[in-house]
Amino acid sequence: MNNTVRIAIATLILTGCASAPPRDTALEDARAEVDALSQQPLAQQAAADDLKNARHYLQEGDSALQQRLPMAVVDHDAYLASRSAQAGEARVQEAQAKAQIAAAQSEREAILLHSRSQEADIAKAQADAARQQADSSKQQADNAKLQADAAREQLAATQQQLADLQAKKTDRGMVLTLGDVLFDTGQATLKPGATSILDRVAAFMNDNPMINVRIEGHTDSTGSPDFNQVLSQNRAAAAATALQTRGVPPSRITAVGKGQELPVASNSTSAGRQQNRRVEIVFSDNSGQFARAN
């Protein structure tokens, strides 16, 4: 390469270096801060003056740099631009904080309003429920009174019917005693004269389907205890069968033989033995339950 070419290349290099725009690190850093501030959504609203000042100082710095003014001047403009950008950033953050506080307050008020509305709804629902409960309780009380009145009327009617049958009130409940006119001596076959009273007992039970009966056969002491036990059981069973044939379900009838063990009079006299020869019909209450003495 000859000297003329070398001189030409050197001249081009020197010319290029001389035309390259000057740069300053402080100024570029400040520019980055200003750009960041300008990207903030609230910049124009909260920090418009700071952003304007920062851009002004950037322009001043660029101008000083282009004019080859001392770097101290450029750096000072960069410093002012940076401070303005930082001030603007602070204002943006403050505005964001206020916006967040306002949003939180609004949300809190909305939650409180919703909560109060819910409390009001709950209170109303509770009041409605209380009224419904009161109405239901009153209805139940009225129904209970009607049921009690009906039960008393039913009990009175039942007691009157049993009284008409000549049943007597005992610690075992109402008991109807049928003497030895039902059977011949030593026999368990019902006599024709038993028809009338058994018809009336069956009619009573069919009119009162919740009442059960316990039929007990009793004898005097004539004969052996074993014979009397069997005889009393057979007589109770005969009376039970008679009721069943008159429409009373077997499930409502219990027949037991008591033999000679429970006399109501002395067996030493004819009159006493006649009283001991008997069939007793014990009636349950209106719920089908017998007194504990049974």
pLDDT digits (tens, 9 = 90+) for 244-278: 999 999 999 999 999 999 999 999 999 999 999 99
pLDDT for res 200 = 95
Distances in Å between the alpha carbon of 217 and those of 165, 181, 211, 280? 18, 13, 20, 7
pLDDT for res 146 = 79
Q: What DSSP designation does 102 have?
A: H
For residues 275-286, give the mean pLDDT. Answer: 94
Residue 11, SS3 per DSSP = helix
pLDDT for res 218 = 94
| The pair of three-digit structure tokens given for residue 23, joined into one six-digit string | 């740069």
User: Among candidates 64, 117, 115, 61, which has minimal Cα distance to 85?
Assistant: 61
pLDDT in tens, 93-115: 999 999 999 999 989 988 888 88
pLDDT for res 18 = 44
For residues 77-101, give the mean pLDDT. Answer: 93
Q: pLDDT > 70: what percent of the chain?
A: 90
The residue to which tokens 């069939």 are assigned: 279
Residue type, 174: M
For residues 213-231, give the mean pLDDT. Answer: 94
| The pair of three-digit structure tokens given for residue 248, joined into one six-digit string | 């009373």
What is the spatial distance between Cα 55 and Cα 35, in angstroms, rounded to a whole number? Answer: 9
What is the spatial distance between Cα 80 and Cα 67, in angstroms, rounded to a whole number? Answer: 19
**Considering the domain 155-283 in this protein, what is its CATH number?**
3.30.1330.60
216, 256 contact by CB (below 8 A): yes
pLDDT for res 5 = 41
User: What is the overall mean pLDDT for the chain?
Assistant: 86
